[in-house]
Amino acid sequence: MKITAETLGNPAFQEYFSTQYAYYCGSMYKGIASKEMVVALANSGFLGFLGTGGMRLEEIESSLDYISNSLSMFEPYGANILPSYNNPELENKTIDLLLQYDVRVVEASSYVELSPALVRYAFNGLRRGTDGRVIRKNRVIAKLSRSEVARSFIEPVPESVLSSLVETKLISREEAELAATLPLASAICVESDSAGHTDSGISFAQFPAIKSLAISLTKRNASEKILVGSAGGLGSPDAIAGAFAMGADFVVTGSINQCSAEANISYEVKDILQALSVQDTTYAPSGDLFEMGAKVQVVKKGSMFALRANRLYELYTQYDSLDALTPSIIDELETQYFGKSISDIWEETSNHYQKANPEVLKSAANNPKTKMALVFKWYFVHTTRVALEGKKNGRGDYQVHCGPAMGAFNEIVKGSSLESWQKRGVAEIGKFLMEGAASVLSDLYAEQSNKAFEQTRKSATPKSTAKVAKTDVEAAISELEEIVDVQLDASDWVTVTQEMINQFAETTLDEYWLHVDQERAKQESQFGDTIAHGLLALSLVSHFREQCFPEFPSNATGMVYGFDNVRFINPVPVNSRVRGVFTLKEIVKNPDNSLTTKAKFSIEIHGNPVPALIGDLLGYITFSSGE
């Protein structure tokens, strides 16, 4: 069966988040992941997240208003949420806006522990369905890189946290009771060495460990499957294919989407990004976590930012105050780094925190090293601003978060329509990567299948085949050639009953409610009742083939050895009548006098002009001598 972009990953991702693909575009701070980007993705069946980090509340609200007016309630979109441990009110107000605009999914980034605000969002609107199952209104995708953080998102939220939210009337008692056994997250995004904040993790070590943890923990609480996806370093179809081959339920791209038409960043930065190779990034201290020594991955080519940021952190660890810096160091910083005096920077910084968070100034007044950190952190704010705005006189200090995936993407699209960033739409980038990954995996699996078939064919061919009279084979070929490119008479109709669906579900262990729970399906499914498994309809092909094709000679044995290009186009509602229609397209005589055939088929639904599925049926015919 040919793999497609839509069939990659776990279909539960499409179900949870109403997407067409098991792929989403990660948020990028300060609105680089813009409202226009979110809308463009949603209109093409992709999930995108507004980059709320560093945005003012009024900017977030304006963007959410734009998105909600541009999309219907059925199109997927979300927003990023970050913890604000020093200013919880900011996180609370951001959550208020997300609930006000009915944003149904958030990407929770940089959390090391659960915040009450995030718990409030996740469990707002919980209700119990008619079948007793808990139904979520909102979903959380937790982007993380550490197993201990993943555990907190997978295990049920502590009862003390839920009780506190009930007492403050932020969630109802019923919501707290329903949440008692639920994980906070519906999906975990395992972030490996990525653009921006990074632990420099290796996906082939991190991902399996966290996925194994998720499987282990959810065995104790099977109320809902938690999906585990991969992010970091995904900038080519081969990388995406590798992530899915490793077992990712979904994949996430990040900084490559900065270099797109919809990204809210300067043209100057996009020109830089378009020219990067995989070696053109490096690590620098993080501005927001400067004192802790956290790292971000940034563009190295054409910018002095990383070099100067590392120098600032070196000075911070060596000296206890600004007053301890030597005159030569002060001159170096003011003339080469800041472009203004330290006293001017402190005045600007003081004015900001006087409005934003006066407690920070109190801390700086009591601790000279804190004051030095605030002055140094001004440089990180400044370098981000000049990059976002494309200030030409600040080009040498651009701080641009980026990973090697950008260079990998640039390399793979050379000479194509996506080479120029002006023609890189985020949806086109997503389709290019997913379709390319599907092609990579299809080719790989086809090669493996062909090898396996050859081995099976050799062992299955009767030893006496070589003695078969050529006339038997030629007669069969002659009969089959008469019907090449001729649509054969359709098979009889078969009614797909609920009993048949239930038996198939029991046999295949696929007892998904949409197939077997008629009461729930009638209330919640868009189809108004249960539907047959797609593979159930496909399994009927052999039965229909026997009715439609001419009988083989008594010494011939026919078998199905595979399918190609299968597409499940239309669901088959329970009690539908279906039939098979075939057209033989190819006959090939093999050296051992066996035959291989290919026939196009469709499974039609009575009264519906759109078939349930289409594809190519691959057949294999052997002849015995009768001895």
Q: What is the CATH number of domain 473-623?
A: 3.10.129.10
Q: pTM of the entire structure?
A: 0.70
The one-letter code for the residue type at 106 is: V
d(CA 10, CA 506): 21
Q: Which residue is listed with tokens 């949870």?
A: 16
d(CA 346, CA 330): 14
Question: In order along the chain (627 residues), what is the average pLDDT of each group of 10 residues?
Answer: 82 90 91 94 94 92 95 87 84 95 93 92 90 88 92 92 94 92 93 74 83 83 81 92 92 93 92 92 87 87 91 93 93 92 92 84 90 93 90 86 92 93 94 94 74 58 43 68 78 92 93 91 83 94 85 74 87 92 84 81 85 89 66
Q: Which residue is listed with tokens 């309630």?
A: 73
**224, 182 in Cβ contact below 8 A?**
yes
The beta-strand segments (E) located in 521-576 are 556-568
Q: What is the pLDDT of residue 620?
A: 83
**612, 569 in Cβ contact below 8 A?**
yes
Q: What is the pLDDT of residue 51?
A: 92
- The tokens describing 80, both together, are 């990023």
Closest CA to 31 of 398, 389, 378: 389
User: What residue segments make up the domains of the chain, in order of their start?
Assistant: 5-273+418-444, 304-399, 473-623
Choices 3.30.70.960, 3.20.20.220, 3.20.20.70, 3.40.50.300: CATH for 5-273+418-444: 3.20.20.70
Closest CA to 68 of 97, 31, 25: 97
**16, 137 in Cβ contact below 8 A?**
no
| H-state helical runs in 299-341 | 305-318, 327-332
Closest CA to 60 of 84, 39, 79, 41: 79
Q: What is the pLDDT of residue 382?
A: 93
Q: Which residue is listed with tokens 């279906």?
A: 578
